Amino acid sequence: MWGFANAPLYQESSEWEYMACPNQDGYRFGNHYHWNSYQQRSEEPDTTKKIVLGLGDSVLYGGVQTDQDSTSSYIFNRLRPDCQMLNISAGSWGPDNCAAYLKHYGMFGAKAMVLLVSSHDAHDIMDFQPVVGKHESYPNKQYWSAWAELMCRYVWPRTVGRWFASKGSDDPDAAVVKSIDGTDIMKGGKVFNPGFARLKEIADSCNIPFVVILHPDKKEVAASEYNEQGKEIIEWCEANDVPLVLELKEGIEMEMYRDGIHTNEQGQRFQAELMSKYIRI
């Protein structure tokens, strides 16, 4: 009933690290999820509509905490019934992941591209560290029963496993899920993410609009200012004449978050409205 033993599954990629497996449909924690044959959190591409490529990480992705109909891409489709946004995203993706995906699959006849990023994406560069089947957020197979997942993934790490972790145990079952608490999320790439330039090159080669939306974390909202990595993204967009939408200036509020960086349903609607406003096709 709660969707235990029914988690979305992932597969590795030698080109873009990882992504949700294609052709998945189910329910998890009361929310519907669906991925099409191209691993997009969307219906199959509709050639009767104007295709918009929605590119991003977990904020656009939504996760199982967001119902399919409540993701910003689905809300955008309702706001712009002549368009279809294809949700091309995954947790912890950067612009270079998105560019690698488009290099492989092509543009789907897109009329516009929008990249939803946060400040940490300035240096969130692919490193191909194995996570699929190793990190609990990227499973490649289901637990054998709902009770097994409930106990092994949720109850044990938050009870007995927490005690072992405090004793310095190296038992992998002692790992504790860490939540984002609003502190700075800084990625360690040494250079500016090359995916920004690659995506601009792709859009220019197709002669289609390319818009970047910069999403703040809650600490940036509290400060009314983007951090240093966010400012790097702003500087790059200005230097390269890429249209940039700053959510801080558009009025995003604390009530639109479900944790330190991810948006709730209200926040997803806010982002969809921004997309509809600034994507002019």
Under 8 Å CB-to-CB from 16, ≥6 apart: which residues?
93, 97, 98, 100, 101, 104, 126
Tell me whether residue 163 is in a domain.
no
Q: What percent of the chain has pLDDT over 90?
A: 79
Residue 131 has which token pair? 């996570």
Q: Smallest Cα–Cα separation from 136: which of 274, 7, 2, 1?
A: 7
Residues 232-273 have pLDDT tens digits of: 999 999 999 999 999 999 999 999 999 999 999 999 999 999
Q: Write the secondary structure of 183-246 as one string of H (helix), E (strand) and C (coil).
A: CCCCCCCCCCCCHHHHHHHHHHHHCCCEEEEEECCHHHHHHCCCCHHHHHHHHHHHHCCCCEEE
Residues 26-76 have pLDDT tens digits of: 999 999 999 999 999 999 999 999 999 999 999 999 999 999 999 999 999
Tell me whether residue 271 is in a domain.
yes
* Range of weakest confidence among 9-13, 101-105, 157-161: 157-161
Tell me whether residue 209 is in a domain.
yes
Q: What percent of the chain has pLDDT over 70?
A: 89
Under 8 Å CB-to-CB from 204, ≥6 apart: which residues?
210
Residues 77-126 have pLDDT tens digits of: 999 999 999 999 999 999 999 999 999 999 999 999 999 999 999 999 99
Tell me whether residue 167 is in a domain.
no
Whole-model pTM: value is: 0.88
How far, in whole angstroms, is CA 193 from its chain's centroid?
A: 16
Q: Please, are residues 121 and 57 in contact by the beta-carbon 8 Å criterion?
A: yes
* Structural domain total, the chain: 1
Tell me whether residue 179 is in a domain.
no
Tell me whether residue 122 is in a domain.
yes
Range of the domain at 204: 10-130+186-278
Tell me whether residue 148 is in a domain.
no
**Cα–Cα distance for residue pair 51/83, rounded to 1 Å:** 6
Write the CATH number for 14.
3.40.50.1110
**Cα–Cα distance for residue pair 45/122, rounded to 1 Å:** 30
